[in-house]
């Protein structure tokens, strides 16, 4: 796709250029999906809308030139996190998937608060002039490599003539920290949701040990459970 | 193509671009759909051959090649049932999500040099990411069809695909490391020349990585010994038990599509993609070896090469499917966690060390552009700069690296 | 404050989208009684933040040719995504545990820590 | 070994044996034989051993020194002048034995008239063990042995032995559980208690030990110690049946009265010690310096002054302290001062310094004797002491302890000034008369004997008071024999009739012949029956001596002739009440048939001692053919310087003390003997008239002399008098003081406490209300605030999110309001 | 999903407290052989309780038997174990002959051995094929049926039917062998010999197959005996019982003179095990693998028997003998006989009151007791293992439901 072609288009139809069009598309999808997430009661529906929303934001990232982040978003967010969430939904939502409706009062309050928060944020968004100047549409180099280099610690993206006191710092340390952090989180999550071993004696054992087992002991309780269950 | 339309027909820029985009999308779609149909037929034939029987003979011409058409018509004709307890919206969307996910990956898949939907800098990464999405469709299907068995199937499928993404990711990283870039086209280029240039023969570790990649690919596509999702014997048909008719066909298309995708990816990453075993074009002097702007005919040859390799991959999948019994879910998980991931990791380290110590391969110079491989990564950014030569910022940061590192 | 609705997209547009996502996320957290719903709200919030980061970090959108954050924006977005994944994992583990112990994921039921 | 060494050893051992028995019985008493029966044998054998040793000592003494012929038999005075000058080395390493020959200077003339030199025989003194010695001051355990000591040893041990034998029989009730009918338990029935047989003999042994201690004591301190010990023993023995209220009060009364006496004695003691610095009777050689330290006798009657009594230098200096002060002021050097004082002493002596001091010392010592020997003011305890078992009365309250007072006066005779002797005499007379009259009306057999003892002691004191040194001591010894006999007889009668009341007795002679006859002998001995000038009972000899001396004294001091009248009257009354007693119990018709049937002769173990004592009651007065008798022995140790008639102008006017030997002179002797015989005979006849053949019924007489009778029956109202004089005031004072204590002091302290409490309560109120108030208010405020704020923490996740949103919005709004420009600007 | 079954079968892990889900592998489940409904109480993937429901294929055969004469009831016996109809007919025929004390001719006896052993081969082939299907491979099923087709052709020649033969009747056979049949039969056997070796490579030694079957559904000899399991299931657990050798005299009379070894693992070795693949390392005696392997050995054993019976049959001179009259009067009394069918010991019991129509007919199904042990084996295993266990028991619903 040729970027300068896009800028040419922009001039023809001021109201529509590639970037604007796609931006509107993705933004629209993202926002609508986000609202749908809030509105829908069924958790699985929420998951689907969330997928759409996150996918759209991935698109936005692509549009903004952050390809690597967009791909990462797609892979980790949509591929990993949401699958995890859906797993969560499946495992936990045995019965009342739909049942949990929040009381009307909360909804109204939340709405008001949301409006207030939105107003504040949007006002802030437009408060700075430099932000509003339309993007130059400058074709930028793909950021994957510099990003990789930055993570490893060499900042290739800074421009020489910047009057910086110190060169921009590389991200090696945070990168390592995040890796260790992820490891710890995984171990933690695995531990938290670990399979809790419960020894269920085989029927044969039960029979043999039935008489020797004290009536009150847990084994007896569990065995009766099982035995009861198995009748 | 776009310039051609703009200058010649004078269509408005955006219209032409959309047209081009639509055309290329259509092209890709058909290629895949066609491929899927062929594969369905091929599957029947190969299964028969394996089972010492003929397979479809009467449908269509001599070899029953119209069988898949017949299937298609049957599926179209079939009534699209929906169980009453099902969640209507999700039930309908699920196949399309799954279908899009697997076909979306083809955007970044180069059939020949630069014959690619969108040449993404993060090509491989994008493909793997999109593969991850397919599981969504399966889960939604499993949940939406409101039957215990489909839920079982969906859960197993999700667990399997998600856990196999890990070793898959690791295997994919090796060729990226060798090629120095995630851009599939670059990877393909790197393997131009004699077959010995293919990454698979680059070093013993990558060779093993290829097989691990292939197993993981099998698993992530739900084929053969890992096809627990629709294990007939246990869960009737897994997550698409309740589907019938067109919706079921979409699942089917998605499955064959991703099967083809995975094999094509294997071909590109390891088997040299569109470069044939013999560098015919180079020998004939048609191109300067880098095939940067080789003529279309050459690219067509490239596409054929890729198709053949992918076909071989698919054939092997089918072959495995009709011979090996199905693995149990825990055995599937064990192979993933205890075998694929460790081996992939070990080989990854192996390759890294190999590249560090033996850049030129066992026999120095055996890879004629091996040297290039190291700097390629630097140079590549330079070449990339050539692509967008009109970038305003004079000194691209990448050149800066070159000066710095020398 | 010239805001071309369809004009060339600027950082502010992205900020607005980010704000909307953020607000939807917060509202979702505020409203959803299902723990997983709350988690999804969190994802939305983080996503909103990401949009802002990317917007500020993108050269393409920068008004005067140079983005506010430069590459830092994208790196931050990257880290946010990573950590969001980690957070989701742990949050889910907690939700499962909660479910194990209380047979429900209704957030309102988890109000043991009240005053 | 010379006598000087032998005697202390013999007597020392004789003295310590009873202590050994006491300790043995104390620790192993109950384990000696069944119920402690063996204690009797142990005690008896120990006292027997002491008797034997005393007899050996007596023999040794007599053999060593020629016996002093008794004045009656051979009319001559073989005053043996024994001069044993060698300072025998005492075998005891501790102390050098110094004996002081009474007649150092044989030539010392005395202005006494003829009859040769009366020189007391030798006396041995020395110390066994020095308790405390610093400079002149020395406290030690030592001995002062002369004929009295030996004699007293023999008498005491002999009587004690008889009584031990008697007591073995008498006290056999105590061998097994005793039901004491006289003690009324709260529940009404009599007391049942275990027997205390060994305890009795334990006390008896202790008593003998302490009595012998007094006798052998070498210095006043030792005397005082054993004086107290004897008092304690009497307290034990009187209070033997301590459950009986009467017995315990009697024991206490005895002890307290003795203590009153001892108080006086202590004063005297201190006077002597303060002045003279030593309490030793005899001289002693200080082991350290080797000098001879004069004893009391030497100091009071220095040999240089021919044993003339004079106020010793110490006392003079002591009295003239103020003079010395002036002298000390004059010249500071000590030696100079000492020499000056020494020079001035004779002058001061002339001026009469220290005379009063010596008088006071002597009188103090006499006070102790009054307490102990139950003289007039302090005699009330003796009748009550009858509560103790009869052997006790016999031994302690007749023969020994009460005699200790008389013995001490005898021992201390040289130190006593004529004035003191006069006081003694009068006290003796008064006691004699009062006791005798009370005895007349007493109906309790033991009470009668008790009062007779008091009157006889009065006799002895009078004798000593009038200068009859030998007479008094001779009567002491003879009285010991027949009074213990009488008591034992009364004990056997009581034992038989189980009652003390003579009005229930009568005609017991036929039933109890031994007791009857031995009692008769006792009575005859006490009234001094005997064929005049030929032979008589022991009492006859001693009582005549006293009468003679009294007669001599009244003749020489006519203003004091009342003493003789008292003696004579006493003799008459004594005879009357003794035979009244005898007739009421043994003669006549039995008054209480019940008692008569039960009466039975006492077992042999009790009658044997009676017989033994009876024999001695008769024989005691006699002298052995060689002139050796009690009188001759006593004569041997007459204190130096008292043999002659002395006329001194004392504080109480001039008194002449006639020499004792003059009383043996014809006229006085004859008249005395005749008066004694007649008065005795009259008394007996009157008793017989009233009780044997009731010519005159005692009741009629009593009715006739109603006022006198009631006066006498009430024992001269002495008890009531004391009660009124001492007890009531004491109680009153005590009550008054306790009243003060409770009303004034307690009330004051309570008020203080109350005030403190009031203040405390106010403070508590303040603390509670004000201080706590503030704290509580603060606490409750925070608590309520906490409660209110707590509601904010609803635990509901969703509300928390809303709060966050509100917070952020608020911050934004504030930020924009406060910082006009936008945040990022 | 964490490791499900480690060394101690009894440790069952549960990940998230998924409450027990009642799942039933319904009658119309493709993998079950015929209409068997398995109600599984699963806890996640783990089957905590399994309860087979039968009776869907019940046709009241025994009640009908009370209104038909002995010979009229033969077709019903065909439809019990429709995979081994010959053995069923033989079982019923022998039972009635025992009641009648009727002795068939020598020739018929040999022919009966021949036919029943061939039918055993066919039955085991179906068992093997279906088991492959249960474990997910489709090809072995087709190979198995290819061979079976040939056999069915042979049977068709003999009695005209491919499945429900009704060939053996009371008193002998309905017809004699067509000419040249024996030669075709031997030809079949000759070409079938190498194919068996092929089957072993296809399944028995297949790594995944071994993984899916070894140490799964272990049936201890005691439990086997307790539950009355018979046939390959019993022999799979190492119990050396084969009615052809240890059965009743009437039945063993048929096989006297035939030399054959019972296919059972005796102290660690199968008879003639040198010719077959070794037992895999983690296969435990009494697990699915052994039961499958015993069937494979019995196929070879039956081929050997068929060859011997062919020789004997061809040497016999005498006539085949006519079967008894259709309405043969049955003597009053009862008779019970068990025969060694491919699935196990099939017992027939007939009570007659003297009339040709038996008063009471009863068929004791071997598959019924074999199936009875399945809940024990399946407790604690995975859902994927349930078909493996049921497949290894090789049950036929027709015989169970009758």
Q: Is residue A49 part of a domain?
A: yes
CA distance E125 to chain B (A): 16
The runs of H, that is alpha helices, within D587-717 are 593-598, 604-619, 630-636, 660-663, 666-687, 698-704, 706-713
Whole-number pLDDT of residue D65: 61
Q: Is residue A92 part of a domain?
A: yes
Contact A197 E16 (CB under 8 A): no
Length of chain A: 231
- CA E287 from chain centre, in angstroms, equals 17
| Ordered domains of chain C (ranges, CATH) | 12-102 (1.10.287.3510)
User: Are the CB atoms for D601 and D515 separated by under 8 Å?
Assistant: yes
Residues with Cβ within 8 Å of residue A85, at least 6 apart in sequence: A47, A50, C36, C39, C40, C43, C88, C92
**In this predicted model, what pLDDT tens digit does every residue of B75-108 receive, in sequence order?**
888 888 888 877 788 888 888 888 888 888 888 8
Contact A195 E13 (CB under 8 A): yes
Q: Which of D798, D812, D825 is opposite residue A120, by nearest beta carbon?
A: D812
Around E388, how many Cα atoms within 13 Å sit in the side-chain half-sphere? 29
| Ordered domains of chain E (ranges, CATH) | 61-401 (1.10.645.10)
pLDDT of residue A202 exceeding 70: no
User: Are the CB atoms for D426 and D513 separated by under 8 Å?
Assistant: no
Phi then psi dihedrals of residue A129, to 5 deg: -65, -45
pLDDT of residue C20 exceeding 90: yes
**In this predicted model, what pLDDT tens digit does every residue of B276-320 receive, in sequence order?**
777 776 676 665 544 455 567 777 888 888 889 999 999 999 888
**Higher local confidence (pLDDT), D8 or A222:** D8
Whole-number pLDDT of residue B214: 92
**In this predicted model, what pLDDT tens digit does every residue of B330-380 receive, in sequence order?**
888 888 889 989 999 999 999 888 888 877 666 655 554 443 333 333 333
Provide the percentage of residues in chain D whose pLDDT is more than 90: 10
Q: Does E390 touch chain B if contact means CB atoms closer than 8 Å?
A: no
Question: Residue D191 gets which letter from DSSP?
Answer: E
Q: Which whole number is the average pLDDT over D226-252?
A: 89
Structure confidence at residue D505 as a pLDDT band (50, 70, 90)? confident
Whole-number pLDDT of residue C2: 42
Look at strands E11-14 and A196-199 and give their pairing. antiparallel
Whole-number pLDDT of residue B74: 86
Whole-number pLDDT of residue E30: 56
Q: Does A227 touch chain E if contact means CB atoms closer than 8 Å?
A: no
ipTM value of the model?
A: 0.67
- Where chain E has pLDDT below 70, the residues are 1-20, 26-34, 44
Share the mean pLDDT of chain D: 82
Q: Does E60 touch chain B if contact means CB atoms closer than 8 Å?
A: no
Share the mean pLDDT of chain C: 82
User: Are the CB atoms for D175 and D35 separated by under 8 Å?
Assistant: yes
**In this predicted model, what pLDDT tens digit does every residue of D95-129 receive, in sequence order?**
434 444 443 333 333 333 333 333 444 678 888 88
Q: Which of 9-28 (E) contact A at CB < 8 A?
A: 9-16, 18-20
User: For testing the chain B interface, which of A66, A89, A156, A182 should be mutated: the one with the most B CBs within 10 Å?
Assistant: A156
Q: Which whole number is the average pLDDT over D308-333?
A: 80
pLDDT of residue A200 exceeding 80: no
Highest mean pLDDT among A41-55, D281-295, D341-355, D623-637: A41-55
Q: Is residue A157 part of a domain?
A: no
User: Are the CB atoms for B73 and B91 separated by under 8 Å?
Assistant: no
Share the mean pLDDT of chain B: 77
Contact A86 B139 (CB under 8 A): yes
Whole-number pLDDT of residue C50: 92
User: Are the CB atoms for C89 and A189 separated by under 8 Å?
Assistant: yes
Lowest mean pLDDT among B48-52, B286-290, D349-353, E394-398: B286-290
pLDDT of residue D622 exceeding 70: yes
Provide the percentage of residues in chain B whose pLDDT is more than 70: 79
Whole-number pLDDT of residue D126: 81
- List of chain A residues whose C-beta atoms are within 8 Å of the C-beta of residue C49: none
CA distance D144 to D146: 7
User: Are the CB atoms for D207 and D237 separated by under 8 Å?
Assistant: yes
Contact A159 B393 (CB under 8 A): yes
Using CA atoms, how far residue D690 sits from C17, D212, D443, in Å, is: 155, 43, 14
Q: Which whole number is the average pLDDT over B207-226?
A: 88
pLDDT of residue D53 exceeding 80: yes
**Higher local confidence (pLDDT), B86 or A197:** B86
Provide the percentage of residues in chain D whose pLDDT is more than 70: 91
Q: Which of 121-160 (A) contact D at CB < 8 A?
A: 124, 127-128
- List of chain A residues whose C-beta atoms are within 8 Å of the C-beta of residue D809: 113, 116-117, 120
Q: Which of 333-392 (B) contact E at CB < 8 A?
A: 333-334
* Chains D and B are in contact, defined as 3 or more C-beta pairs closer than 8 angstroms: no
CA distance D300 to D278: 12
Using CA atoms, how far residue C74 sits from A70, C11, C22, C46, D382, in Å, is: 10, 14, 18, 14, 131
Whole-number pLDDT of residue B369: 46
pLDDT of residue D631 exceeding 60: yes
Whole-number pLDDT of residue B361: 61
Using CA atoms, how far residue B209 sits from B202, B213, B268, B273, B305, in Å, is: 11, 6, 14, 17, 22
pLDDT of residue D170 exceeding 80: yes
**In this predicted model, what pLDDT tens digit does every residue of D678-726 receive, in sequence order?**
888 898 888 888 888 777 788 888 888 888 888 888 888 888 888 888 8
What is the maximal distance between C-alpha atoms in chain E? 74
Q: Is residue A89 part of a domain?
A: yes
Q: Where are the domains of chain D?
A: 417-622+665-713
**In this predicted model, what pLDDT tens digit does every residue of E121-139 receive, in sequence order?**
999 999 888 888 888 888 8
Whole-number pLDDT of residue D96: 39
User: Are the CB atoms for E360 and E351 separated by under 8 Å?
Assistant: yes
Highest mean pLDDT among A222-231, D132-141, D439-448: D439-448
Contact B377 A80 (CB under 8 A): no
pLDDT of residue A212 exceeding 70: no
Whole-number pLDDT of residue D75: 35
Whole-number pLDDT of residue B377: 37
Q: Which domain holds residue A129?
A: 3-140
**Higher local confidence (pLDDT), A66 or B392:** A66
Whole-number pLDDT of residue D81: 34
CA distance D93 to A145: 128
Provide the percentage of residues in chain A whose pLDDT is more than 90: 12
Counting beta carbons within 10 angstroms of the beta carbon of residue D98, is it exposed (0 to 12), middle (13 to 18) or buried (19 or more)? buried
Q: Which of 280-339 (B) contact A at CB < 8 A?
A: none
Structure confidence at residue A34 as a pLDDT band (50, 70, 90)? very high
Counting beta carbons within 10 angstroms of the beta carbon of residue D277, is it exposed (0 to 12), middle (13 to 18) or buried (19 or more)? middle
C-alpha torsion D389→D394→D397→D403, nearest 10: -160
Contact A121 C95 (CB under 8 A): no
**In this predicted model, what pLDDT tens digit does every residue of A60-83 receive, in sequence order?**
888 888 888 888 888 888 888 888
- List of chain C residues whose C-beta atoms are within 8 Å of the C-beta of residue D798: 29-33, 38, 107-108
Q: Which whole number is the average pLDDT over D492-518?
A: 85
pLDDT of residue D781 exceeding 90: yes
Indicate the number of domains in chain A.
1
**In this predicted model, what pLDDT tens digit does every residue of A160-170 receive, in sequence order?**
545 666 667 77
Please report, for the domain that includes residue A42, its CATH number: 1.20.120.1200
Highest mean pLDDT among B258-272, D55-69, D384-398: B258-272
User: For testing the chain D interface, which of A124, A126, A129, A130 should be mutated: the one with the most D CBs within 10 Å?
Assistant: A124
pLDDT of residue C1 exceeding 60: no
pLDDT of residue D52 exceeding 90: yes
CA distance D644 to D112: 5
Phi then psi dihedrals of residue D309, to 5 deg: -70, 130
Other beta carbons less than 10 A from residue E275's beta carbon? 11
Q: Which of B148, B234, B323 is opposite residue E21, by nearest beta carbon?
A: B148
Whole-number pLDDT of residue B394: 37
Contact C21 A34 (CB under 8 A): yes
Length of chain B: 406
């Amino acid at each position: 796709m040729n970027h300068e072609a896009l800028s040419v288009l922009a001039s023809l139809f001021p109201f529509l250029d590639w970037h604007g069009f796609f931006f509107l598309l993705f933004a629209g999808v993202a926002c609508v999906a986000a609202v749908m997430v809030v509105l829908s009661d069924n958790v699985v529906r929420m998951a689907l809308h969330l997928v759409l929303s996150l996918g759209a934001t991935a698109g936005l990232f692509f549009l903004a030139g952050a390809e690597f982040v967009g791909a990462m978003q797609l892979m980790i967010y949509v591929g990993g996190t949401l699958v995890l969430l859906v797993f969560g939904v499946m495992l936990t939502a045995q019965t009342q998937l739909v049942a949990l409706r929040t009381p009307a009062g909360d909804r109204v309050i939340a709405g008001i608060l949301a409006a207030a928060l939105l107003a504040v944020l949007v006002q802030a968004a437009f408060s700075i002039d430099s932000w509003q100047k339309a993007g130059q549409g400058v074709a930028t180099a793909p950021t994957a490599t510099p990003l990789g280099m930055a993570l490893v610690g060499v900042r290739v993206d800074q421009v020489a003539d910047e009057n910086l006191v110190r060169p921009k710092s590389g991200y090696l340390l945070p990168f390592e920290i995040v890796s260790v952090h992820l490891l710890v989180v995984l171990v933690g999550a695995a531990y938290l949701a670990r399979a809790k071993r419960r020894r269920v004696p085989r029927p044969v054992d039960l029979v043999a040990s039935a008489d020797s087992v004290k009536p009150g002991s847990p084994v007896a309780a569990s065995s009766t459970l099982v035995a009861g269950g198995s009748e | 193509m776009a310039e051609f339309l703009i200058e010649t027909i004078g269509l408005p820029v955006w219209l032409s671009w959309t047209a081009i985009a639509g055309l290329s999308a259509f092209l890709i779609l058909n290629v895949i759909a066609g491929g899927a149909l062929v594969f369905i037929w091929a599957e029947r034939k190969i299964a028969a051959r394996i089972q010492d029987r003929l397979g479809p003979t009467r449908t269509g011409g001599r070899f029953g090649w119209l069988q898949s058409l017949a299937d298609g018509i049957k599926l179209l004709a079939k009534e699209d049932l929906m169980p009453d307890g099902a969640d209507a919206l999700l039930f309908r969307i699920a196949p399309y999500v799954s279908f899009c996910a697997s076909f979306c990956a083809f955007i970044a898949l180069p059939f020949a040099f630069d014959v690619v939907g969108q040449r993404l800098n993060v090509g491989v990464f994008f493909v793997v990411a999109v593969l991850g999405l397919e599981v969504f469709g399966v889960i939604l299907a499993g949940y939406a069809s409101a039957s215990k068995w489909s839920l079982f199937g969906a859960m197993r499928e999700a667990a399997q695909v998600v856990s196999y993404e890990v070793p898959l990711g690791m295997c994919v990283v090796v060729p990226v490391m060798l090629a120095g870039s995630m851009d599939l086209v670059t990877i393909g280029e790197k393997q131009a020349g004699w077959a010995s240039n293919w990454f698979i023969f680059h070093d013993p570790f990558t060779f093993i990585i290829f097989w691990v990649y292939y197993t993981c690919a099998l698993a992530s596509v739900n084929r053969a010994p890992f096809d627990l999702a629709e294990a007939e014997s246990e869960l009737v048909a897994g997550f698409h038990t309740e589907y019938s008719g067109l919706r079921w066909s979409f699942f089917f298309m998605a499955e064959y599509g991703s099967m083809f995708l995975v094999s094509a990816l294997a071909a590109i990453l390891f088997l040299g993609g569109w470069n044939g075993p013999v560098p015919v074009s180079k020998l004939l002097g048609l191109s300067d070896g880098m095939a940067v702007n080789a003529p279309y005919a050459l690219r067509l040859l490239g596409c054929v090469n890729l198709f053949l390799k992918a076909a071989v991959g698919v054939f092997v999948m089918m072959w495995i499917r009709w011979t090996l019994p199905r693995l149990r879910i825990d055995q599937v998980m064990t192979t993933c966690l205890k075998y694929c991931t460790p081996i992939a990791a070990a080989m990854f380290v192996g390759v890294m060390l190999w590249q560090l110590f033996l850049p030129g391969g066992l026999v120095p110079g055996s890879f004629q552009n091996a040297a290039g491989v190291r700097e390629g990564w630097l140079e590549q950014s330079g070449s990339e700069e050539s692509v967008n030569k009109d970038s305003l910022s004079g000194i691209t940061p990448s050149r800066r690296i070159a000066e710095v590192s020398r | 404050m010239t805001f071309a609705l369809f004009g060339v997209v600027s950082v502010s547009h992205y900020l607005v989208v980010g704000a909307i996502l953020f607000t939807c996320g917060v509202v979702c957290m505020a409203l959803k009684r299902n723990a997983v719903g709350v988690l999804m709200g969190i994802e939305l919030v983080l996503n909103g933040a990401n949009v802002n980061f990317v917007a500020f970090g993108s050269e393409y959108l920068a008004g005067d040719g140079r983005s506010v954050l430069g590459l830092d924006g994208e790196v931050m977005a990257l880290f946010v995504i990573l950590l969001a994944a980690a957070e989701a994992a742990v949050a889910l583990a907690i939700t499962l545990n909660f479910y194990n112990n209380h047979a429900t994921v209704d957030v309102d039921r988890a109000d043991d820590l009240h005053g | 070994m010379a006598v000087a060494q032998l005697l202390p050893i013999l007597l020392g051992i004789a003295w310590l044996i009873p202590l050994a028995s006491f300790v043995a019985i104390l620790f192993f008493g109950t384990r000696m034989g069944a119920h402690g029966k063996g204690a009797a044998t142990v005690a008896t054998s120990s006292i027997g051993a002491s008797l034997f040793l005393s007899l050996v000592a007596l023999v040794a003494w007599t053999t060593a020194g020629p016996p002093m012929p008794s004045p009656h038999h051979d009319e001559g005075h073989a005053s043996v002048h024994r001069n044993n000058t060698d300072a025998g080395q005492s075998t005891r390493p501790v102390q050098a034995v110094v004996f002081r020959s009474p007649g150092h200077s044989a030539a010392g003339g005395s202005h006494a008239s003829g009859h040769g030199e009366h020189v007391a025989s030798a006396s041995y003194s020395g110390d066994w063990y020095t308790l405390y010695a610093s400079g002149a001051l020395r406290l030690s355990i030592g001995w002062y042995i002369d004929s009295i000591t030996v004699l007293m040893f023999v008498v005491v041990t002999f009587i004690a032995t008889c009584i031990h034998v008697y007591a073995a029989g008498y006290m056999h009730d105590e061998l097994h559980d005793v039901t004491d009918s006289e003690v009324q338990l709260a529940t009404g029935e009599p007391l049942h208690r275990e027997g205390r047989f060994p305890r009795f003999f334990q006390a008896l042994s202790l008593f003998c030990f302490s009595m012998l201690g007094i006798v052998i004591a070498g210095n006043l301190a030792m005397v005082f110690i054993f004086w107290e010990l004897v008092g304690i023993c009497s307290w034990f023995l009187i209070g033997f049946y301590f459950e009986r209220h009467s017995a315990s009060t009697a024991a206490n009364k005895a002890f307290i009265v003795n203590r009153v006496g001892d108080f006086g004695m202590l004063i005297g003691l201190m006077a002597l010690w303060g002045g003279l610095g030593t309490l030793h009777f005899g001289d002693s050689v200080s082991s350290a310096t080797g000098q001879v330290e004069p004893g009391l006798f030497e100091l009071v009657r220095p040999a240089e002054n021919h044993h003339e009594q004079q106020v010793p230098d110490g006392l003079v200096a002591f009295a003239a302290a103020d003079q010395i002060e002036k002298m000390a002021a004059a010249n500071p050097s000590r030696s100079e001062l000492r020499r000056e004082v020494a020079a001035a002493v004779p002058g001061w002596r002339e001026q009469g310094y220290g005379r009063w001091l010596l008088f006071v010392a002597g009188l103090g010592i006499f006070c102790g004797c009054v307490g102990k020997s139950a003289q007039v003011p302090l005699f009330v305890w003796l009748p009550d002491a009858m509560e103790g078992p009869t052997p006790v009365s016999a031994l302690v309250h007749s023969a020994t302890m009460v005699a200790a007072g008389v013995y001490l006066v005898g021992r201390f005779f040289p130190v006593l000034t004529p004035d003191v002797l006069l006081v003694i005499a009068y006290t003796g007379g008064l006691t004699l008369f009062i006791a005798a009259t009370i005895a007349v009306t007493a109906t309790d057999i033991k009470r009668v004997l008790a009062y007779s003892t008091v009157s006889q002691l009065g006799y002895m004191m009078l004798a000593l008071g009038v200068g009859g040194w030998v007479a008094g001591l001779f009567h002491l010894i003879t009285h010991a024999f027949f009074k213990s006999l009488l008591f034992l007889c009364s004990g056997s009668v009581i034992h038989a009739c189980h009652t003390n009341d003579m009005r229930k007795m009568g005609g017991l002679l036929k039933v109890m012949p031994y007791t009857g006859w031995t009692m008769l002998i006792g009575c005859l001995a006490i009234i001094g029956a005997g064929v005049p000038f030929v032979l008589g009972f022991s009492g006859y000899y001693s009582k005549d001596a006293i009468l003679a001396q009294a007669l001599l004294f009244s003749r020489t001091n006519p203003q004091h002739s009342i003493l003789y009248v008292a003696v004579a009257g006493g003799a008459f009354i004594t005879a009357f009440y003794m035979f009244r007693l005898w007739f009421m119990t043994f003669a006549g018709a039995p008054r209480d048939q019940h008692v008569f049937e039960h009466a039975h002769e006492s077992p042999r173990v009790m009658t044997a001692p009676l017989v033994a004592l009876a024999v001695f009651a008769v024989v005691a007065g006699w002298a052995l053919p060689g002139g050796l008798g009690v009188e001759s022995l006593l004569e041997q140790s007459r204190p130096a310087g008292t043999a002659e008639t002395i006329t001194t102008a004392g504080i109480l006017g001039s008194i002449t003390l006639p020499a004792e030997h003059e009383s043996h002179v014809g006229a006085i002797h004859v008249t005395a003997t005749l008066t004694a015989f007649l008065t005795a005979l009259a008394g007996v006849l009157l008793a017989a008239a009233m009780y044997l053949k009731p010519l005159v019924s005692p009741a009629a007489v009593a009715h006739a002399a109603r006022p006198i009778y009631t006066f006498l029956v009430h024992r001269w109202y002495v008890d009531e008098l004391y009660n009124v004089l001492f007890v009531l005031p004491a109680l009153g004072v005590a009550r008054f003081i306790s009243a003060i204590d409770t009303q004034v002091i307690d009330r004051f302290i309570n008020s203080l406490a109350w005030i403190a409490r009031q203040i405390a309560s106010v403070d508590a109120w303040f603390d509670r209300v004000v201080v706590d108030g503030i704290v509580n208010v603060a606490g409750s405020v925070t608590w309520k605030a906490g409660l209110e704020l707590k509601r904010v923490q609803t635990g509901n996740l969703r509300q928390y999110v809303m709060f966050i949103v509100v917070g952020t919005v608020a911050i934004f709004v504030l930020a924009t309001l406060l910082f006009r420009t936008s945040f990022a600007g | 999903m964490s490791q499900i079954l480690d060394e101690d079968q009894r440790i069952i892990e549960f990940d998230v407290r998924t409450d027990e889900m009642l799942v039933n592998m319904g009658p119309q489940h493709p993998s079950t052989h015929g209409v068997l409904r398995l109600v599984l109480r699963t806890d996640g993937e783990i089957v905590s309780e399994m309860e087979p429901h039968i009776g869907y294929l019940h046709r009241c055969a025994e009640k009908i038997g009370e209104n038909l004469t002995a010979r009229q009831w033969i077709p019903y016996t065909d439809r019990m174990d429709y995979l081994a109809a010959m053995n069923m007919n033989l079982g019923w025929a022998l039972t009635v002959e025992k009641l009648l004390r009727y002795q068939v001719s020598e020739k018929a006896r040999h022919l009966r051995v021949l036919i029943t052993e061939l039918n055993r081969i066919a039955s085991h082939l179906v068992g093997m094929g279906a088991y492959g299907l249960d474990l997910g491979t489709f090809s072995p099923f087709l190979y198995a049926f290819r061979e079976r087709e040939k056999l069915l052709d042979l049977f068709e020649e003999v009695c005209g039917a491919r499945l429900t033969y009704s060939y053996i009747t009371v008193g002998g056979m309905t017809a004699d062998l067509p000419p040249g049949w024996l030669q075709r039969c031997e030809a079949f056997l000759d070409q079938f010999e190498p194919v068996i070796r092929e089957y072993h490579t296809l399944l028995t030694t297949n790594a995944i197959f071994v993984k899916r079957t070894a140490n799964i559904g272990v049936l201890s000899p005691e439990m086997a005996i307790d539950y009355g399991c018979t046939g390959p299931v019993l022999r799979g657990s190492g119990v050396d019982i084969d009615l052809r050798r240890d059965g009743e005299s009437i039945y063993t009379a048929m096989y006297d003179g035939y030399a054959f070894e019972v296919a059972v693992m005796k102290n660690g070795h199968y008879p003639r095990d040198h010719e077959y693949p070794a037992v895999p390392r983690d296969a435990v005696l009494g697990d699915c693998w052994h039961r499958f392997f015993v069937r494979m050995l019995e196929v070879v054993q039956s081929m050997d028997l068929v060859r011997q019976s062919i020789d004997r049959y061809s040497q016999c001179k005498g006539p085949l003998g006519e079967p008894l009259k259709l309405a043969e009067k049955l003597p009053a009394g009862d008779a019970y006989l068990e025969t060694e069918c491919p699935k196990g010991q099939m017992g027939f019991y007939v009570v007659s009151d003297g009339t040709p129509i038996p008063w009471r007919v009863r068929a004791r199904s071997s598959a019924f007791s074999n199936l009875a042990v399945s809940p024990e084996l399946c407790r604690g295993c995975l859902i994927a293992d349930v078909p493996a266990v049921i497949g290894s028991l090789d049950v036929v619903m027709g015989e169970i439901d009758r």
